[in-house]
Structure 1
């Protein structure tokens, strides 16, 4: 626990990533039909309309990997003081959020796109301080 104070900001960002992405991934697994059904309606009328299950699957995999990498990053920081896995978690989270932002913009859900901005700011701060 000697690294706790030295990496407090990084650890808090990783906990944020873990909660955000693992919860979202688990929700997609538990309610696949509900999520894809809502998103099919959300993307109806766009060029992405026929790709919803594939898109949800890709996002699901990325979210779970990002969440698990964040947990691994927490363990790595607390045991070695290294931030390699933590940085990977933050970068993958940023990429995932950019994909989500793209989808929201295509669907013309500007309020939803704006919401993603808050998450992105936290994650990009993590990328910045861990790189």
Structure 2
């Protein structure tokens, strides 16, 4: 399970939900982080995909991730697309999850990001959608 952070504003750029990705978004809203992996090779992929890039199979299964990892890199955004101007400045980060997945996401919270420090992914519940972000551990 991952923590859920509630934000009292609409999402600036709500995710596009397809029939395939719906399980991901529904689980995220419950505080669970899911992705897909190849049934044959057990290779994880993120974001979830209906075809595994490891072996090009459509035989994929949903698995839950811990949401724990370390900060690989980060930057502060000072000029952004129109949808995100109201959030300026904001931080984005590259996270290496414990399961071996590297992903990019927003970094939130009061603790400044430190490369190599532990982070946790959190579900961010907006008034109209859910997303995820990273938060440094105390």
TM-score normalised by L of structure 2: 0.24
TM-score by length of 1: 0.25
Structure with a larger share of its residues in strand: 2
Flag the structure with higher helix content.
1
